[in-house]
Amino acid sequence: MPMTATEAGNSAMRDLTSAANAAGPPRRIRMAPKLAFRNLIHDRLSLAVTLTGIVFSVVLVAVQFGLYLGSERTIARVLDQTKGDVWVVPLGTKSFDDPSLLGGREKFAALSTPGVESVENLVVGFSSWRKPKGGATTILLVGSNWTEGGLAPWNIVEGSLDELLAPSTVAVDRSYFKDLGITAIDDTAEINASKVRVAAVTRGIRSFTTLPYVFTRRDTALSMLGASGDQASYTLVRVEPDVDPEDVRRDLASRLPDQEVLLRNDFRQRSLDYWLFQTGAGAALIAGAMLGLIVGVVIVAQTLYASTKDHLNEFATLRALGASSSYIIQVILLQALMSAVIGYTIGMILALIVNWAAEGTTLNVVMTPELAATLFAITIGMCIIAAISAIFKVIRIDPAGVFSR
């Protein structure tokens, strides 16, 4: 049968007395975890509230930071797949998903620049996708000659790149099937009034703006966007081995004063800064994570304080029997650490379930070993901070008060 509150209190009292009378520091060290565990499970309701606060905090912080990392990967995914060391972009371009057309002479200027190995034009533009059963949606059409070293759709799970060489064929991501009104490979639709066939299906190629990426050959994209053969949205330049990309960038920038010439990492960082901070999306995710931490600290602090207050008489007895303040502090910290480990384990299980549920959707939640380790350290720190209020209460106990009861 479960112990009553009186029996549990008497048991905790016996543990306290044994701890105080233990011979030598080694014995006290062994008694501290047992005492901390007894205090922790004495009030099951308080333990449940404590764990709820920790679990809520862990899950919220894990999901928010997972969304932040997922957003970074989503924003930079296309840039990371390209091979261009130097990018020529229209003046004022904020990110890859903010395309417009260049003048048309950028490729020739790049080819005449010393140190350049190859140049590829990439066509990107907003287009209208008309669904097979009616209705339309906006897409981001991406055209490239991957047979010549340009950007190719990756993570293909159905179809192949060879099938995309056929006229009027496109590749789409499976997560956007519902948005595009299609159900399988070989379905047909219209892009800007031109009929297309889905010849390849990818997995995990999502855009931060939620607009579906649709990949096709460059000449097909130019035709659908109504652009001339020399035009491009971005000109990607690969430099020769042992050539500094910055030297090529400066030289090319002097040749193209009406365009921006950026290193790939600089354009990548500009895209991240724009979507995560200038739009406020990143700040909102970080604020949500901070809110989870604050809520967790408050709940854990309240329950630890209440638990300590319930055992003040026992702690006073322990002090009266000669236990040091450091020993009592050790007991309280062990309570907090036990709560942290249990709450973190449950929280991480729930967070991984959320990650699993988000797979195959447009919501990209990432969990990395580094993030898991950081969350564990944060949880431990949160619980230690929360234990401070209980520690302050205990160290102010007057041992003589036990004799007045």
Mean pLDDT of 362-383: 84
Would you kindly state where each structural domain of the chain is located, as residue ranges? 5-73+281-404, 92-257
Q: What pLDDT shows up at residue 1?
A: 45
Mean pLDDT of 344-372: 84
Residue 198 has pLDDT above 90, yes or no: yes
Give residue-wise pLDDT tens across range 136-194.
999 999 999 888 878 899 999 999 999 999 989 999 999 899 999 999 999 999 999 89
Q: Distance (Å, rounded) from C-alpha 260 to C-alpha 173?
A: 31
Terminal CA-CA length for the chain: 30
Half-sphere exposure of 40 (CA within 13 A, CB side): 23
Mean pLDDT of 326-354: 85
Q: What pLDDT shows up at residue 130?
A: 94
Give residue-wise pLDDT tens across range 253-300.
999 998 999 999 999 999 988 888 887 777 787 787 787 778 777 777
Q: What pLDDT shows up at residue 261?
A: 92
Residue 213 has pLDDT above 90, yes or no: yes
Mean pLDDT of 352-372: 82
Confidence at 3, pLDDT banded by 50, 70, 90: very low
Confidence at 207, pLDDT banded by 50, 70, 90: confident
Q: What pLDDT shows up at residue 14?
A: 53
